Amino acid sequence: MAKAPRPASIYITGAAETPLGKVTDQSEFSMVALAAREALGEAGLRLKDVDALFTNYMGEEGSVQLGEYLGVRPRYAESSDIGGASFEFFVHHAMLAIAAGRCEVALIGYASRQRSRRNRKRAVSLSDGTLAAQFEAPYGIHFPIGHYALSAARHMHQYGTTLEQLAAVAVAARQWARLNPKAWSRDPLTIDDVMASPMICDPLRKLDCCLVTDGGGVIVMSTKERAKDAMKRPIRVLGAGESHCQWHVAQCPDLTVTPGAISGRDAFAMAGIGPGDVDVFEPYDNFTNGVLLYLEDLGFCKKGEAGAFVAEGRLAPGGSLPSMTSGGGLSYNHPGALGILLLIEAVRQLRGEAGDRQVPGAEIAVAHGTGGLAFSTASTVVLARD
């Protein structure tokens, strides 16, 4: 694979979760503030050192409102919303901004209280005035599960993927979650358990679907020079890529291919590595079938082979590609936008501080975020223990 130009050495120097699970005693802003204090402490920095701010997906709030709350007046800021992929997307943009000298210390933050507020939207309304309202809502499709279910059915039809193979993804995530004291769901889980759970949207069952929780986190990025102040091992950003295609499922050219085919290609090229070099994979596991597509699109296996790949136990503890090592969105935490937590877990694995779920000798990790209604967006980040 040809190596693409990479900006000068950029590091993640702090990573921290907000309060997780069901959070009734904090606001979204205060949750980010708590995580920011912890992440900046790891980085050996303070809020006054932050000169770039990235956030999205906090209701109507963006970088201006978050900056006001934190007392940060950034030289560089962004509040773009590409759904759950936004945070890997922000790592890419922060890397470029730092390399260009537009900032030195970037804070990427997010929090959601969707479980406590019970405000997650479940369906397109006919009154939305959107294309989805005109061309999708009349058929009763719910999002995002309806769109993922269409993709799962297509993959099963086209490649012979089975329900048991989808269930193997949920089982692998739960095996990791049982090693994580912060995980929401830690009870034992078998393929039979997944298969026996209620059908939600054919062919996806309840345990093929992610959690609905409160949570979030903060990532701090900086130059190599500022990284020298870090209290913990800085983790180098080797490469990043992003892409997006359609928003509406009716415009999706292929339900078995995601924009990750482009974002992954670009991230690996910038990093100068291939899929075989990756020690830890943190995919956006909001639904089990999505993980199969990301494995294929990023090149961990050939198109149509991901079902057999996961059925062999390769994602689980002791497998050849440890994935969803926190327990992922399926068992650990899913606060509406999971991408920030994928980065935090990747950093912890590379620092060697993941406790019972630590992957031995982990040197390269990939965090892969996705978002939108029908695999609309994707961002991929390659991280390395320097």
pLDDT of 122 above 60: no
Residues 187-204, buried b or exposed e (16+ Cβ, 10 A)? Answer: eebebebbeebeebbebb
Question: Do the Cβ atoms of 62 and 53 come closer than 8 Å?
Answer: no
Structure tokens at 129: 């005035």
Question: Do the Cβ atoms of 163 and 208 come closer than 8 Å?
Answer: no
Structure tokens at 281: 């994979």
Which one, of 56, 7, 27, lies nearest residue 371 by Cα?
56
Active-site residues, by number, are 284, 332
- As a whole number of angstroms, the distance between CA 284 and CA 242 comes to 14
pLDDT of 298 above 70: yes
Identify the bridge partners of residue 230 per DSSP, sorted by sequence position: none
Identify the bridge partners of residue 61 per DSSP, sorted by sequence position: 58
SS3 (DSSP) at 265:
helix
Structure tokens at 284: 């956006």
Angle, in degrees to the nearest 10, between helices 163-177 and 288-297: 90
Assign residue 57 a region: left if phi > 0, alpha if psi is -120 to 50, beta otherwise?
left
State pLDDT tens for residues 23-50. Answer: 999 999 999 999 999 999 999 999 999 9
Residue 130: the pLDDT is 62
- As a whole number of angstroms, the distance between CA 109 and CA 53 comes to 8
The 8-class DSSP code of residue 142 comes to B
Structure tokens at 346: 């990747």
**Those residues with Cβ within 8 angstroms of residue 136's Cβ, 6 or more apart along the chain or in another chain:** 124, 248, 249, 250
Give the pLDDT mean for 63-78: 96
Identify the bridge partners of residue 377 per DSSP, sorted by sequence position: 244, 371
Structure tokens at 110: 């997010």
The 8-class DSSP code of residue 82 comes to -
The 8-class DSSP code of residue 3 comes to P
- As a whole number of angstroms, the distance between CA 319 and CA 206 comes to 25
- Sign of dihedral through CA atoms 285, 288, 290, 293? positive
- As a whole number of angstroms, the distance between CA 360 and CA 357 comes to 9
Residue 251: the pLDDT is 83
Identify the band that residue 1 occupies on the pLDDT scale cut at 50, 70 and 90.
very low
Global pTM reads 0.95
Give the range among 52-61, 122-131, 270-279, 296-305 with minimum mean pLDDT: 122-131
- Sign of dihedral through CA atoms 49, 54, 58, 60? positive
**Those residues with Cβ within 8 angstroms of residue 162's Cβ, 6 or more apart along the chain or in another chain:** 156, 307
State pLDDT tens for residues 142-191. Answer: 778 988 999 999 999 999 999 999 999 999 999 999 999 999 999 999 99
Identify the band that residue 382 occupies on the pLDDT scale cut at 50, 70 and 90.
very high
